[in-house]
Structure 1
Amino acid sequence: MKTEYRTEHDLLGDRQIPAEVYYGVHTLRALENFPVTGTNISIYPDLIRALAQIKQAAARANQELGLLDDKRADAIVAACKEIQAGKLHDQFVVDVIQGGAGTSTNMNANEVVANRALEILGHRRGDYHELHPNEHVNMGQSTNDVYPTALKLATYVGIFRLVEAMAYLRRAFERKAEEFRDVLKMGRTQLQDAVPMTLGQEFSTYAVMLGEDEERLKEAALLIREINLGATAIGTGINAHPDYTALVCRLLAEVSGVPVITSPNLVEATQDCGSFVQLSGVLKRVAVKLSKTCNDLRLLSSGPRAGLGEINLPPRQAGSSIMPGKVNPVIPEVVNQIAFEVIGNDMTVTFAAEAGQLQLNAFEPIIAHSLFKSVTHLRQGCTILADHCVEGITANRERLRAIVENSIGVVTALNPYIGYAHATEVAQAALSSGRSVYELVLEMKLMTKKELDGVLQPEVLTRPHPLPKQHAGA
């Protein structure tokens, strides 16, 4: 079939636009200029919804201020509501990485909203003399306040989705901590035997680490909700009504459900990316601690016979094309890789924020892309780790108990009962003979079996408890 076109004009001249698309000439230029990743901005639906929420709030604000007539305002709002409901996202086609400080993204939104609003009014796409992308949809706005505001709305929503996923994973670890509360094992420092603990205590630390970072993310969200909408070009509010800034902020909070507040200094807010740096740093913190947890899970499950073999991860797939029966810790491995990506994204955000000059940071598109990837992938990683790994972990209880009884480190727990000199003698004998501390203590008649078994209990070995009087304070 023959493709039909419409003609649109910009400062560089006329261009033919496919008649069926909702975007216009500015978006077309961006498609030609930025064939970078092959991934368009619609991959981030929260960003598209945020752009539509901003355009809706701006239309209503300008309508209330008497700057935009009811007919056009209602059509713009209707188009924006459709986009928020998930329609026309395929028309947001500019690349996630682009020059121009996000201008191409803003213009893509202006054109899609304008052309859908024209249809609602009974006009053809491209009839901009009836309703214009810049003059009406973008009224009182600039890319320099729209784009960072949209980024903040989208990341705010993403933060709390991530917090929910982290809480989901935390609860999975808490259940395992309860299940393993009586499973005695050896703790390790620097990969060397330390003192006894329970497997439940070990798993509870993973839950606590997640809980701490849930709170840090909520703190970062408080900074993210401060916006510069109304700043227009550089923060002076040029071409906006004096009452527009406060009004559009209130309306945007109503439309989006995000408790946004206007920055006290719009010039500063337009050029400063500090809140994005702060958030990225917290995401890196989450990634680092999550990766450490996955390192532990891989190490504790190593084997099944030549490694630690203390726990079993649920088998997810065959692990080798050449070694029959091999099963790998693929779920912790994929979460490790997500963490590596997030750490790299943080470096990208750092450089991009530092590279801003004077009254604007031109590199917010790569900040947006980096933050969205980090938030999204961490969220998915937490859910995958909970469902496909943590929930199915089992403990090798007999092996763990045998390791404790055979470990030299257990003499530390016996020190208050048999004294430091005898404890040292037992440790040396165990090292030289290869025999267990348990059997040597009995053979040397330092404790009875009942006394020794009484000490080698989780409630004695793994938490503070009253010491025997004859050795207390020794």
Structure 2
Amino acid sequence: MLNRIEADSIGEKNIDQQAYYGVQTLRAFENFKISGRTINDQMINALAYVKKASAMTNAKVGLLDNKKMKAITEACDEILSGELHEWFIVDPIQGGAGTSMNMNANEVIANRGLELLGHEKGQYQYLHPNDHVNYGQSTNDVIPTAGKIATIFLIDDLIVELKAIQQTLELKAIEFKDILKMGRTQMQDAVPIRLGQEFAAYASAVERDIKRLEYIRQELMVVNLGGTAIGTGINADEEYVKEVVPILAELTELPLVQAVDLVDATQNLDIFTMASAIVKSSAISLSKVANDLRLMSSGPKTGFGEITLPAKQNGSSIMPGKVNPVIPEVVNQVAFNIMGNDTTISLAVESGQLELNAFEPIIFYKLFESISTLTNAINTFNHNCIVGILANQTRCQQLVEHSVGIITALCPHIGYQKAADIAKEAIYTGATVKSLIKRENLLSTESIDIILNPETMTRPGISGKQLLTK
């Protein structure tokens, strides 16, 4: 194997001649064998956008010759097309506030740029990772900026899946609009509700999550590129600082703007606390839906049995024929993980000191994981569960008829105390509420049918006066 020798402030190191990374990347690879994973693809692309914008800006203001600029931008374009990603080898959990991540990008772009210029990898006198690719930049403005861009890209995918599952829930609400079932509060019989109303409520919750994500997506457009080390812009040309974010916005086709206070934007990462919280909120909403579906489908013979979920795989290695609600279960587990990630992100954001937060790597690692896993969970929840849900109308009707919960609808017509007495007798004897009302001759059969009509019981009720006029 042919090697080249590269040196940094620590010393010299042998690098595989085929490798596009350099000495600083290799040191990070050896130092931070933590998660066993590599940098998120969207983060790699975001880094390429930042490096391309910086090179173009430096050339525009006369600080980088066009030949070097073209080599850097062409290397970045290759990364954006999906090439060279395998050379981003550093672990996403790393010390140094993301310097290893930034240098991995700098070295890969420099070495590919050297090839495009007709030189060998490692001949940095012609194109240097720090002096040229990282010119006018610091890890401390590159990584937060790239992290925000990557988060926006990931949120876009999440919103697509949320809109898809919202549509499916709305279609199910229409499909189930005439199916009456028992509503439950505190796991006890309450009053009747239509199954379609429950699914419409799920769709409404998802719609709120989409709006929150769209809001935070706009908030993430404010970046600190140009602030360099601590937000003061040291080592960055004044014209470069003015021009770099508009050029980055044009490249990414995102309405990115530079923070008014670059010192604030460099040291404070509260935006990621908010982003994580919104992702967590969405996960919790969907986990609650998953809980409801598991309850309503429980049985199939000894539980609620109000709906049937699509059978996706055997549920037991010992009990033949058992089918478990595996898709809702995985949604629950994703939500649990996201809640844990949110705690990690909160602690990391709080732990910044003075002019910098050194814990951006774990913030992005956990935030990206939360968004990606939630996106995937929603996809499987939608396509492998919700679209195939069937309503067991007969079972729902039986549970309504044998529940004392429907007595609530009769309270305005026979009085609370009489309704309570009938409810107690129904529970004690097993007789239906309807039969006891008829036995007591409290209301006519016609009136009972009107009051206990699914439409009547699942919207604001009719008064006794209205009933007498019918």
Superposition TM-score tier, normalisation by shorter sequence: over 0.9
Unaligned stretches of 5+ residues in structure 2: none
The letter of the residue matching 1:422 is K
The letter of the residue matching 2:273 is V
Who is 1:80 aligned against?
76
SS of 2:436's equivalent?
Answer: helix
Deviation at 1:426, TM superposition (A): 1.9
Match of 1:388 among 384, 389, 398: 384
Who is 1:327 aligned against?
323
Report matched runs for 1:279-294 at 5 Å: 279-294=275-290
Within 2, Cα distance between the matches of 1:418 and 1:268?
A: 66
Match of 2:168 among 167, 172, 176: 172
Who is 1:38 aligned against?
36
Within 1, Cα distance between the matches of 2:409 and 2:391?
A: 23
Unaligned stretches of 5+ residues in structure 1: none
The letter of the residue matching 2:207 is G
Who is 1:15 aligned against?
13
SS of 2:45's equivalent?
Answer: helix
SS of 2:122's equivalent?
Answer: coil
Deviation at 1:271, TM superposition (A): 0.7
Match of 2:148 among 142, 147, 152: 152
Deviation at 1:458, TM superposition (A): 1.8
Q: Quick check: 413-422 or 54-63, which moved more?
A: 413-422
Deviation at 1:84, TM superposition (A): 0.5
1:416–1:471 CA contact under 8 A, matched in 2: no
SS of 1:182's equivalent?
Answer: coil
Match of 1:241 among 237, 253, 269: 237
Report matched runs for 1:46-65 at 5 Å: 46-65=42-61
Report matched runs for 1:423-442 at 5 Å: 423-442=419-438
Match of 2:307 among 300, 308, 311: 311
Report matched runs for 1:21-420 at 5 Å: 21-41=19-39, 44-420=40-416
Within 2, Cα distance between the matches of 1:431 and 1:385?
A: 38
The letter of the residue matching 1:86 is G
Who is 2:462 aligned against?
466
2:409–2:461 CA contact under 8 A, matched in 1: no
Deviations 1:281-300 (A, max 9, x none): 11111111111111111111
The letter of the residue matching 1:387 is H
Deviation at 1:245, TM superposition (A): 1.8
The letter of the residue matching 1:240 is A
1:172–1:390 CA contact under 8 A, matched in 2: yes
Deviation at 1:467, TM superposition (A): 1.6
Task: Please report the TM-score for the alignment, with normalisation by the length of structure 1.
Answer: 0.97
1:79–1:117 CA contact under 8 A, matched in 2: yes
Deviations 1:309-355 (A, max 9, x none): 11111110000000011000000000000000000000000110111
1:151–1:368 CA contact under 8 A, matched in 2: yes
Within 2, Cα distance between the matches of 1:36 and 1:373?
A: 15
Relative distance call for 1:446 and 1:26 in structure 2 (3 A) is same
Within 2, Cα distance between the matches of 1:80 and 1:392?
A: 44
Deviation at 1:471, TM superposition (A): 8.2
Aligned pair count?
468
SS of 1:469's equivalent?
Answer: helix
Deviations 1:347-401 (A, max 9, x none): 0001101111110100000000000000001111111100000011111101111
Q: Quick check: 239-248 or 81-90, which moved more?
A: 239-248
Who is 1:448 aligned against?
444
Deviations 1:390-416 (A, max 9, x none): 011111101111111111110110122
The letter of the residue matching 1:223 is E
SS of 1:427's equivalent?
Answer: helix
1:35–1:95 CA contact under 8 A, matched in 2: yes
Q: Quick check: 23-32 or 438-447, which moved more?
A: 438-447
Deviation at 1:425, TM superposition (A): 3.0
Within 2, Cα distance between the matches of 1:19 and 1:364?
A: 31
2:297–2:308 CA contact under 8 A, matched in 1: yes
Deviation at 1:470, TM superposition (A): 7.8
Q: Quick check: 454-463 or 341-350, which moved more?
A: 454-463
1:419–1:471 CA contact under 8 A, matched in 2: no
Within 2, Cα distance between the matches of 1:87 and 1:445?
A: 81
2:177–2:195 CA contact under 8 A, matched in 1: yes
Deviations 1:83-140 (A, max 9, x none): 0010000000000100000000000000000011111111111110011010000000
Within 2, Cα distance between the matches of 1:52 and 1:421?
A: 73
SS of 1:382's equivalent?
Answer: helix
Within 2, Cα distance between the matches of 1:471 and 1:75?
A: 82
Deviation at 1:223, TM superposition (A): 1.8
The letter of the residue matching 1:151 is G
1:51–1:109 CA contact under 8 A, matched in 2: yes
Q: Give the fraction of aligned pairs with identical amino acids, expressed as a percent.
A: 51
Within 1, Cα distance between the matches of 2:36 and 2:377?
A: 24
